[in-house]
Amino acid sequence: MITLLGSLLGFLSAAFPDFLKLFRDAQNRKHKLKILELQMQQQAQGHVNRLEDIQVNADIAESQALYKTYNTGKPDCCAAHAGAIRYIGIVHLQSG
């Protein structure tokens, strides 16, 4: 009986490193999967940020193009008055 228990204990102790390796491999795969999910989320967020940057740059270019047409060569006081009128008009159009 003791021989049988000894051989069973020897078999289990020899198989223990293999079971431990299987457990570590499973944990490692879970960890890698979580990292890949986070990388995909980060990449998707990067695309959204890039699209926002493109839109902002387009708005800036549009504003610069519009204000180039208002350079009339008038004195500074007249240009400031015309700029204020344009701003009020733009605000009025956006609110309505």
CB-based burial, 2-27: b 16+ in 10 Å, e otherwise: eeeeeeeeeeeeeeeeeeeeeeeeee
pLDDT 10s per residue in the chain (96 long)? 888 878 878 877 878 888 889 999 999 999 999 999 999 998 888 888 888 889 999 988 888 887 776 665 555 556 555 656 555 555 555 555
Residue spans per domain, the chain: 16-95
Q: What is the pLDDT of residue 34?
A: 96
What are the tokens at 25?
């491999």
